[in-house]
Amino acid sequence: MPDLEIDRVSKRYGNVVALDEVSFTVRAGELFGFVGSNGAGKTTTMRIALGVLAADGGEVRFGGTPVTHETRTRIGYMPEERGLYPKMKVLPQLVYLAELHGMSTGEAHRSAENWIARLGLTERRLDEVQKLSLGNQQRVQLAAALVHDPAVLVLDEPFSGLDPIAVDVMSDVLREKAANGVPVVFSSHQLDLVERLCDRIGIIRSGRLVANGTVGELTAGANAQLVVQAPAAYPGWAKQIPGVRVLGEDQSGTVLELESDVDDQTVLRAALATGPVREFRRRRPTLTELFRHVVTGGEK
């Protein structure tokens, strides 16, 4: 499968800059997480990639060539706001949508039944969409994005409203599509899920892409962090150590961030001064911590 390229895409609404030369590539067989605060530009970028919105500048390419109407029929798109016909039954709706993408009636039926079964909707296949729970509506929306066997997946908040079992099902589906060479890009506010699933991550802030890479690459320049478990230590014991910031403190231990010139042995000596130390280890910043740092411009 080819790559999906977003190249210097810009969009304005009057004096408001929604996107400012946003660029990233979703490689074939890759899960790419696209994260940002509300209003940062995620949905606008996805709509431009699909062709729902026109960019003021830049280009979207698939396989090195600009995206056309024909290319768009090969994209599986899942909007954040559900785009289904509420009074139409699940199976006929999926068949209809598959046919719109060029499948024969027989192919459309087989694909629709496959995804209905795969996503746990068999008992609801002849129900009207509006009579389904929000979680099941979300499953139908995913089926609608997959039913025509797309070459690209663009999913806006696909995990919203799903219970843990449905999250597992959707995660497995996205991994499977990526394993088959499909470039998959999705946005989500569930950063722990993005960190667990995605090969690479892009963070957008105020219409500009401010970080792009693996979690390891994005945190490579971050300050060192330590987890210290000192059962006899008094609350706030580490606050007096120069160059050390307390990120969290509870019964399981204290999480500390060290400035670059702080020796972790200094922290260990301070911990030992309070009594025994049961745990002392380095810790990689989480995507949630990285996100907070990036979207606030590094403010503490």
One domain, residues 260 and 127: no
The boundaries of the domain holding residue 149 are 4-214
99-124 per-position pLDDT tens digit: 999 999 999 999 999 999 999 999 99
CATH of the domain at 103: 3.40.50.300
One domain, residues 118 and 175: yes
The strand pair at 224-229 and 279-283 is best described as antiparallel
C-alpha radius of gyration, the chain, whole number: 23
One domain, residues 88 and 151: yes
Residue 94: burial class (beta carbons within 10 Å; 0-12, 13-18, 19+): buried
Residue where the block lists tokens 């090195």: 64
Contact indicator for 259, 227 with CB cutoff of 8 Å: no
Structural element, H or E, at residue 11: strand 4-13
One domain, residues 183 and 276: no
One domain, residues 34 and 166: yes
49-80 per-position pLDDT tens digit: 988 899 999 999 999 999 888 888 889 999 88
Contacts of 182 (CB under 8 A, 6+ apart): 1, 28, 29, 150, 151, 152, 153
14-25 per-position pLDDT tens digit: 999 999 999 999
One domain, residues 145 and 267: no
Contacts of 188 (CB under 8 A, 6+ apart): 33, 35, 157, 158, 159, 160, 194
One domain, residues 250 and 189: no
Confidence bin at 297 (pLDDT 50/70/90): low
Residue 49: burial class (beta carbons within 10 Å; 0-12, 13-18, 19+): buried
- Answer yes or no: is 296 within a domain: no
For the chain, how many structural domains are there in total?
2
Cα–Cα distance list, 145 to 78, 81, 101, 244 (Å): 6, 13, 11, 48
CA distance 7 to 17: 17
* Least confident interval from 40-44, 116-120, 141-145, 258-262: 258-262
Instruction: State the chain's maximal CA–CA distance in angstroms.
Output: 75
Examine the pLDDT at 42 and tell me if it is beyond 90: yes
CA distance 79 to 102: 21
CATH of the domain at 268: 3.30.70
- Answer yes or no: is 201 within a domain: yes
One domain, residues 105 and 246: no
One domain, residues 123 and 23: yes
